[in-house]
Structure 1
Amino acid sequence: MARRVLILIEGSRTNGPPYVEAARRLGLNPITLSADPNRYDYLAAEKVETISVDTDNLEALIHECSRLRETYGIAGITGFSGSDESVYAMVGKLCRYFDLPGPNPASVERCCDKLTQRQLLARAGIPIPAYRVAANAKEVESAVAEIGLPVILKPAAGSGSSGVRLCWTVDEVEDHAAYLLGETHIRQSPPAILVEEFAQGPHYAAHAMGNTIVGIELADFHRPPHFVFRQSTFPAQLTDDEHERIAEVALRSLQALGLDWGPTNVEIRWTKRGPVVIEVNPRLAGAPDSQLVQLAHGVDLITEHIKLVIGEEWDLRKRFSYTAAARLLNPNSDGTLDWIRGVARAAAVPGVVEVKLYVESNTPVVRRGDYRDSIGHVIAASSTHSQTEAILQRAVDLIHWSITPFQTRDG
């Protein structure tokens, strides 16, 4: 009998390793197809078979999968967003071609286009921030005049908060618009900017699988003007009414976008007018969110997703009720990371589940204002929210680092 394989399109620094581990626990051999497998260090470390292929080319992917099918039994196909969430749409197309379970590619493509997503949500009566789309500086200026400061400027397509900025003044708007419209920002062509109202209030993420809300997480951000996550806590402390309203808006959003298969997460702000949808993501949230869900409720979203991908029965039942939280380690300056100390002491604090660093000493640190800014995280879990918060803070207070600023030409 041919060995069963799970084909992974592209990779992920954070979610990639647990997908590989979960696949192997389920008796599957993970094989990664990537435009550049060397981007993902864990593939070599975990001895994952890799194939170099243009993952933007459907015919090339079909060819490689067909070739693999001559040797293996393809149990399922899934993937990771990388820098472009259109990977998920490609996964959906491959699954349809090979008659395997997978997401609806048309729904994913609609969701990945932030403008189309906004239009579909508005049409369905989902509460969203006021927005305008702009293709040049003059249109940005007009949009800001209509919406009023402060505003959020973001690319119409993209992921991981890349290019997203809160602007309080006209000068900030002009500077960031010039950046998004210029050549230095990696973007789709032609350029398009979403100018949005700044919906103020606590930030939540509703994690869903299919039509089931698994739970709701509270998240907060590092210092503005960018939206770099600072801490995530699962589950969020909500009243029954708040939980019901957030869950209801999240499910209506998924329905409006045709996302009724697989993992998704809906980002919501609780404002003066109640829950307002900020963004719907047609994928599992980035790590360590799925780890928090498992620590808090005993639900392994990654394993259950793979079961769905290979056509097996999944299980989203909550086994217990704890609180888990992750604090991201975010530097306040660019430069060379000289050292990080206190990691072992932090890991030894009772209740700390993991202390993980993403970078090593003597490496450059360049903040980009997105998910790539974090240099590590600390995760804690306990039976209560207050105890988890205290454990997390105690551990984080033990970690220190030194960054030497880059030497300028004048220096």
Structure 2
Amino acid sequence: MPRRTDLKTIMIIGSGPIVIGQGCEFDYSGTQACKALREEGYRIVLINSNPATIMTDPQMADRTYIEPITPEAVAKVLEIEQSEGLALLPTMGGQTGLNVAVAVADAGVLERFGVEMIGATREVIHRAEDRTEFKRICLSIGLDVPASGIGHTMDESRRIAAEVGLPVCIRPAYTLGGTGGGFAFNIEEFEEIASRGLRASPVSEILIEQSVLGWKEYELEVMRDKADNVVIVCSIENIDPMGVHTGDSITVAPAQTLTDKEYQRMRDAALAIIRAIGVETGGSNIQFAVDPETGRMIVVEMNPRVSRSSALASKATGFPIAKIAAKLAVGYTLDELANDITEKTPACFEPTIDYVVTKIPRWTFEKFPEADETLTTQMKSVGEASSRQSSSIVRALSAAEMPVVIPVAASTVTVKAVP
């Protein structure tokens, strides 16, 4: 099917300032989206409060608003730009862009100005981001999830913790980089993390779930179009186990320790999830955990947007996830879009790579002397580096400006690898 001609102007919400948990990967994604949609002849309106990004360069959008990314600012820009064929694309600005788009939709602003949300509808965002609804959908399609409950108050949260049993993992809803969450091993830690999580969540909601600390963690980058073509762009394995945020974990692509049977089971689960959630025009990141002792696989969570891992998967495979997602949002299907690398096969062919890509997080705890350096479910790294050459772990460590420790006989030698 051809691109939509009823759309004339597309407003993209950026991710705002670079903060811990949300960095330049969303500038990378937003820039790809701006370029891809301008190629198709659409007028692009961008709102982003960070003038230092490439996305806010004058040639990227037809009109750029350097304004705070808040529901009030977005509503004001929509009022200024209201016209026939105006659409809002919220999936390129990370969790910040998604949350603001949800707030604007719930306030009735989109309906008032006749604006369509593309890429992910309000209902799709609700099904993926609302912990209760996501759990219900996973169970309805026969997938396993940890025992859990949803708390909106401290009293409610204490009752759920008593039912699930300590230790528990606490995940606030609609937050960025695991903000406010963590593992609680005793009642004192539970009180502290649960109250912090309720404050951090914009809807005062936390998921309290059975601890899967130490399980192996995997991610799949998935794309789907309106014709129900679905592709797995890349599998990613976290070297660090469950309990360490993905952004703080060393990760490798493709996954290294799954058997073919385990991978196919995970792949089938990802296809079932993206269809059940209803993502029709873009990419999603779906996370799984596997018990190394029994092989039990559970669904951890899903992001119905371009994510931090999308940038890694794009660079690892050469598949431009943000660009393709933007074009799917305006009506194209995967079989109509060319693969940028081969220039012969369509984008509905799943990428296959014969090398390993390693991502290494970068921390700067020296700049925050009072910060707790313990890695938990709340992201603390400020950036990352990657390598896809031979000895990719050593080269990625070097790129992250981290010393490489090599044991030699009875002694240890610290060297700096040459990039």
Q: TM-score, normalised by structure 1?
A: 0.72
After TM superposition, list the pairs within 5 Å mapping 1:19-98 onto structure 2.
19-21=30-32, 23-24=34-35, 27-28=38-39, 31-34=44-47, 37-39=48-50, 41-42=52-53, 46-47=57-58, 49-51=63-65, 52=67, 56=71, 60=76, 62-67=78-83, 77-78=89-90, 79-83=92-96, 85-87=98-100, 89=102, 97=114
Q: 1:166 to 1:366 in 2, by over 3 A?
A: closer
In the alignment, which residue of structure 2 is the partner of 1:172?
189
User: For the Cα contact (< 8 Å) 2:357–2:392, is it kept in 1?
Assistant: yes
After TM superposition, list the pairs within 5 Å mapping 1:252-291 onto structure 2.
252-271=272-291, 272-286=294-308, 289-291=309-311
User: CA RMSD of the aligned region, Å?
Assistant: 3.8
Q: Deviations over 1:66-107 (max 9, x none)?
A: 25x7xxx97984442343633455689969955685323212
Distance, in Å, in 1 between the alignment partners of 2:69 and 2:188 is 40
Q: Deviations over 1:181-207 (max 9, x none)?
A: 4xxx34324x33221011241111111
Q: Deviations over 1:207-233 (max 9, x none)?
A: 101132222111255996767522222
In the alignment, which residue of structure 1 is the partner of 2:202?
188
Unpaired stretches in structure 2, ≥5 consecutive residues: 1-7, 17-22, 225-229, 338-346, 405-419
The question of 1:132 aligning with 2:136 is answered no
* TM-superposed deviation, 1:250: 1.5
Q: 1:223 to 1:75 in 2, by over 3 A?
A: closer
In the alignment, which residue of structure 1 is the partner of 2:360?
327
In the alignment, which residue of structure 2 is the partner of 1:206?
220
* TM-superposed deviation, 1:33: 4.2
User: For the Cα contact (< 8 Å) 1:262–1:305, is it kept in 2?
Assistant: yes
Q: Deviations over 1:369-399 (max 9, x none)?
A: 77763233211012x6xx3223223444646
The question of 1:393 aligning with 2:397 is answered yes
Q: 1:164 to 1:283 in 2, by over 3 A?
A: same
Q: Deviations over 1:97-149 (max 9, x none)?
A: 55685323212122221222222222332211110122333333322222122
In the alignment, which residue of structure 2 is the partner of 1:249?
269
After TM superposition, list the pairs within 5 Å mapping 1:247-396 onto structure 2.
247-271=267-291, 272-286=294-308, 289-312=309-332, 313-314=336-337, 315-317=347-349, 318=351, 320-332=353-365, 335=368, 373-382=380-389, 387-396=391-400
Q: Which amino acid letter does the alignment assign opposite residue 376 of structure 1? A: G
User: For the Cα contact (< 8 Å) 2:173–2:201, is it kept in 1?
Assistant: no
Q: 1:335 to 1:158 in 2, by over 3 A?
A: closer
Distance, in Å, in 1 between the alignment partners of 2:35 and 2:43 is 7
The question of 1:115 aligning with 2:132 is answered yes
In the alignment, which residue of structure 2 is the partner of 1:232?
251
Distance, in Å, in 2 between the alignment partners of 1:128 and 1:254 is 16
Q: Which amino acid letter does the alignment assign opposite residue 246 of structure 1? A: M
What secondary structure sits across from 1:373 in the alignment?
coil
Q: Name the % identity.
A: 20
What secondary structure sits across from 2:82 in the alignment?
helix
* TM-superposed deviation, 1:161: 1.0
User: For the Cα contact (< 8 Å) 1:298–1:320, is it kept in 2?
Assistant: no
Distance, in Å, in 2 between the alignment partners of 1:320 and 1:148 is 42
Q: Which amino acid letter does the alignment assign opposite residue 230 of structure 1? A: S
Q: Which amino acid letter does the alignment assign opposite residue 195 of structure 2? A: A
Q: Which amino acid letter does the alignment assign opposite residue 272 of structure 2? A: R
Q: Which amino acid letter does the alignment assign opposite residue 313 of structure 2? A: V
The question of 1:218 aligning with 2:237 is answered yes
In the alignment, which residue of structure 1 is the partner of 2:12?
8
Match of 2:161 among 144, 162, 173: 144
Q: 1:135 to 1:63 in 2, by over 3 A?
A: closer
Q: 1:161 to 1:100 in 2, by over 3 A?
A: closer
Q: Deviations over 1:288-319 (max 9, x none)?
A: x3343234322111221222233343324327
Distance, in Å, in 1 between the alignment partners of 2:105 and 2:188 is 41
Distance, in Å, in 2 between the alignment partners of 1:119 and 1:303 is 32
Q: Which amino acid letter does the alignment assign opposite residue 130 of structure 2? A: D
Higher relative contact order (CA 8 A, sep 6+): 2
* TM-superposed deviation, 1:254: 1.9
Q: Which amino acid letter does the alignment assign opposite residue 31 of structure 2? A: V
Distance, in Å, in 2 between the alignment partners of 1:283 and 1:113 is 14
Q: 1:394 to 1:199 in 2, by over 3 A?
A: same
What secondary structure sits across from 1:85 in the alignment?
helix
Mean CA deviation greater in 83-92 or 320-329: 83-92
Name the count of aligned residue pairs. 356
